[in-house]
Amino acid sequence: METTLRPTNTSGAVGAARPGSASRLVPARVPEQAPADDGAAAATATADPKPLQRTTGNAGGAAMQDGVARAQQAIDYLDRVATQLESLKSQLTAKLAGSRAGTAQQQPQIDTHARQLASTLAARKKDGGGGLDANLNFSAQPATQRFRIRALDIDALQQSAPQTISFSIGNTGGPQMAATITQDQSTEEAARAIDRAIAPMGVRASLDDGGALVFSTAESNWPAIKDSIAVSGRGRVATEEVPVQLAPQQWNSSNTDGLRQSLREVVQALERVHRSQDAASNALSAATVEYAASQTPPPEVEIAADEFASAAAGTDYESLLSLTSALVGVSRERVLALLGLR
């Protein structure tokens, strides 16, 4: 006889627990049914119950764990970058304020710190956790690569309107997606039309701060698509990455103006890193709270566990009958699934 554990009184089958009284497991009533076919009954009796699953689902739990790991790695990496930028800032400031003799001694230190920073930035894809783009902007989603398509200018497209422009991405030349550009569209509307057309292929389009058309895709997809984009009327097109604007690529410390420019760029890079640190910390906190909540069993589980423990502690016949009845049909797979929820 199958039984159920019920924490509260939902029907006459299970009595409500009174304050001060011992909890007791009572076999659930089985509704009367018409006699079933013998073969169907045998199949039902031998079939194992489906394994229990987490309430959030395996995919949801894995996504939360990925989010926690991505944020943690980003924070560690950004802390390292921030420390190196602070060192460079101190060296550049000291050289600007120091004497000629002092600046001569500081130049090797500046060069050393600059090489260390360049090495750290080059290791971003490996050490950054996958949530930092080339400019060290953090996102809870995988990092993206921004790029342009040469000779594809939004103003030129509108001047040639109306026209339909087709895109294909991939070495096989397809599938093709088309966007219609009309004369009465604004540049924003034209960019959105292109974005809607290519979004199913994993590429997005938008306008940058200067109003130019810029594309983006997941950084992991970039090697596969950068040389495989074709546009109608142009064939296979050339792409170029949007330049990184983070820290100075060349350290011009031979004069005061060069030092000031380098220092200004280091300060700007520090501000961006600090914003990304805050974003990664907030994402880590949110993901941690969400993950912890998904691991917390609902109150009904705790109540049922207490009732089960109370019944298991009893040695009278009624308690043992309830206990053995409750365990009928519990397979090894279900026990393992329950243990996996802890």
144-241: CATH topology = Immunoglobulin-like (2.60.40)
* 233 vs 148: CA distance, rounded Å: 18
Query: Which stretch of DSSP H or E encloses residue 92?
Result: helix 57-97
**How far apart (Å, rounded) are the C-alpha atoms in residues 90 and 270?**
12
Cis peptide bond N-terminal to 162, omega within 30: yes
Q: How far is CA 78 from CA 71, 127, 134, 135, 280, in A?
A: 10, 10, 12, 12, 9
What pLDDT sits at residue 297?
Answer: 61
**Helical (H) or strand (E) element with 45:** helix 38-46
Coil/strand/helix, residue 315: coil
Q: Describe the crossing of helices 57-97 and 100-122 by its angle, rounded to 10 degrees.
A: 170
Measured CA to CA, the distance from residue 78 to residue 138 in angstroms comes to 10
Q: Where does the chain hold its CATH 2.60.40 domain(s)? A: 144-241
Which residues, in sequence order, are CB contacts of 94 under 8 Å at separation 6+?
102, 106
Distance, in Å, from the CA atom of 62 to the CA atom of 255, rounded to the nearest integer, reads 53
Instruction: Supply the pLDDT for residue 195.
Output: 96
User: Of all helices (H) and strands (E), which one includes residue 166?
Assistant: strand 163-169
For the record, the structure tokens of 280 come out as 């990664």
pLDDT of residue 92: 87
Residue 145 CB-density burial (10 A; 0-12 exposed, 13-18 middle, 19+ buried): buried
Q: Number of H helices and number of E strands within the chain? A: 11, 8
Local structure of 240: helix, strand or coil: strand
The C-alpha atoms of residue 319 and residue 27 are separated, in whole angstroms, by 11
Helix (H) or strand (E) holding 241: strand 239-241
**What gap in Å lies between CA 203 and CA 195, rounded to an integer?**
8
Q: CB of 5 within 8 A of CB of 307?
A: yes
The residue whose two tokens read 């409500």 is 16
Residue 136 near residue 76, CB atoms below 8 Å: no
Contact 157, 186 (CB under 8 A): no
Task: Give the per-residue pLDDT at 295.
Answer: 63
Give average pLDDT by consecutive 10-residue segment, the chain, 342 residues: 40 40 39 44 41 46 77 93 93 78 68 89 90 89 90 88 89 75 92 94 92 93 91 88 72 73 90 94 83 65 70 71 68 66 52
Give the span between the Cα atoms of 84 and 315, in whole angstroms.
68
Residue with tokens 């050393």: 112
